Amino acid sequence: MRDFFIEIFSDYGRVIVFLHIVSACLLVGSMFVMRFVIQPVEVGIMDEKIKFDTYIKMMKRYIIFLLPVMLIIVITSLFMNFGLGFKSGNPTTYVMVHTKEALWTFIAFNFVYMYFKYLKANKGFKEENYIEVEENIVLMVKYLIPLNLVLALISIYFGVILRGY
């Protein structure tokens, strides 16, 4: 299996790195937009039903957007990890690779947690329990997305170090 990753990476290394970087940019950019562009606009909507309906729809589309982006990041990172030979290289570099993997694993689990919070918010919206909706939406938009944003930026910084810049 390892040879498969190495062979594919040797043939398509630039494309794999390109997809990895583009996906990371899309993820970080989308988190930034959600927290600092869309959320402040949503707060200004006075009608709770319209505001929460918009939040629910926005979070659903965001989660659907995240699935392929996260999948591409995971798949390309596997190819890069094996293809660049981090395991047989500098031990410090290999530790940094594992640190990046740990950060992205936490980010992925955080997104899974956000999905369950979305489900609770959606259920609360259907039952017209707007307190439940607000608690879950606020948790996602004000805390979980910014946490993932910070962790993703740290991981990107580690990626820049790994590339030797």
**148 burial via Cβ count (<10 Å: 0-12, 13-18, 19+):** buried
Residue 165's pLDDT is 59
- In the chain, the amino acid numbered 62 is Y
- Tell me the pLDDT of the chain (165 aa) as tens digits: 778 888 888 899 899 999 999 999 999 999 999 999 998 888 888 898 999 999 999 999 999 999 999 999 999 988 888 877 777 677 777 788 889 989 999 999 999 999 999 999 999 999 999 999 999 999 999 999 999 999 999 999 998 888 775
- In the chain, the amino acid numbered 128 is E
pTM, 2 dp: 0.87
Domain locations in the chain?
A: 2-82+89-162
Query: Which DSSP string corresponds to the chain?
Result: -HHHHHHHHHHHHHHHHHHHHHHHHHHHHHHHHIIIIIHHHHHT---HHHHHHHHHHHHHHHHHHHHHHHHHHHHHHHHHHHHTT-TTS-HHHHHHHHHHHHHHHHHHHHHHHHHHHHHHHHHHHHTT-HHHHHHHHHIIIIIIHHHHHHHHHHHHHHHHHHTT-
- In the chain, the amino acid numbered 136 is N
Residue 14's pLDDT is 92
